[in-house]
Amino acid sequence: MLFDNGPPLHRGGFRLAMLLLAVFFLAAGALFMAAGGNQAEAEALKKIRVGALQFGTVNWELNVIKHLGLAEKEGVDMEIVPLASKNAAAVALQGGAADIIVTDWFWVSRQRAEGRKYSFAPYSVIAGGLMARPDSEINTLEDLRGKSIGVAGGPVDKSWLLLRAYGKETMNDDLLDFVEPVYGAPPLLNRLVEKGEFPAVLTFWHYQARLKAKGLKKVIDISDVLDRLGIAPGVPIVGWVFSEKWAQENEDALQGFLRASAAAKKILADSDEEWLRLESLIKPGDDATLMALRDGYREGIPGHFGAAEVTASKNLYNILSEIGGSKLVGDSKELSPGTFWTGAIE
């Protein structure tokens, strides 16, 4: 014999070999079917690219969506596109690098007035406020006379314009006539007011929360300002923004994503444990700051959004367009029709 294949298999050995071979093919088939199923499931998910500032608070919600698979449950494959600034977010949306970003509806209205059809769905109500050092003896706007104060953003920041409108309403005086605003980035302004470079700062809600945890006192919240100006509470100022054409072509996916966003908000509203899990992402520095950020976030969660809130938004637009002028709204004196996506209005 040229080849010796060894002794012949006994009958029992042959059966065992056939059984093992059958098991092998069954296992291989199951793996193949599972892989095919997973691939088909992945292909069935509709991808949505969400542009988000790398260190923005929106990442907290997006992290919850990712961690708990909330988007996949709604048939959505959510891809996060990290961005460096608010301007970069607008460029990413306009250039097609992102399908959806977070920004304010003033930007949407101005874009629509100039022929670019974007739409807005609520993400967070307007928040923030004026904080003062405990040794400043500042308790009202009147106490700001002759002083420098930090103002987060710039001359057309919505909170600053609202505070100016509030001053005109309550004091018949524009803050610009008796206060020296120091415009700057919120983290820098926080450090400067903590060091005593100026006695008070008007800033965004999450920086306000950090200052509150460090012992600074609240002079006035933007929610109080809105109330005095006759604006109904719960007006969203920041939201998910997307192309109207894209929304029409991907309505099921968009609705699924918005449901995932709402589910994440509910979890963050109800679960203190989830905030503890997010601590490494938020980097609060201490427990008091984490709790202040948690409470501030919860206050900003939008509630019902219907005809009354749309009307309140139009009223807010009229107030801010009057005081902010063309630098804020361009040539459009009224809120552009279609600014709010109809699928978001209850």
Please check whether residue 181 lies inside any domain of the structure. Answer: yes
Residues of the chain with pLDDT under 50: 1-11, 14, 16-17, 19-21, 23, 31-32, 34-36, 38, 40, 42
> Residues 275-295: pLDDT tens digits?
999 999 999 999 999 999 999
Query: CA nearest 240: which of 261, 225, 219, 224?
Result: 261
Q: Say whether 242 sits in a helix, a strand or coil.
A: strand
Neighbours of 188 (CB within 10 A): 13
Do 244 and 192 fall within a single domain? no
Could you tell me the pTM of the whole model? 0.84
What is the count of structural domains for the chain? 2
**Residue 250: inside a domain, yes or no?**
yes
Do 111 and 247 lie in one domain? The reply is yes
116 and 263 share one domain = yes
Same domain, 310 and 261: yes
> Domain check: are 141 and 267 in the same one?
no
Q: Please tell me whether residues 332 and 247 are part of one structural domain.
A: yes
Are 192 and 322 contained in the same domain? no
Look at residues 195, 228, 261 and tell me which one is the last residue of a structural domain. 228
Q: What is the CATH number of the domain that holds 189?
A: 3.40.190.10
Full DSSP string of 63-106: HHHHHTTHHHHTTEEEEEEEESSHHHHHHHHHHTS-SEEEEEHH
Same domain assignment for residues 248 and 328: yes
Whether 24 is covered by a domain: the verdict is no
Domain of residue 188 covers: 129-228
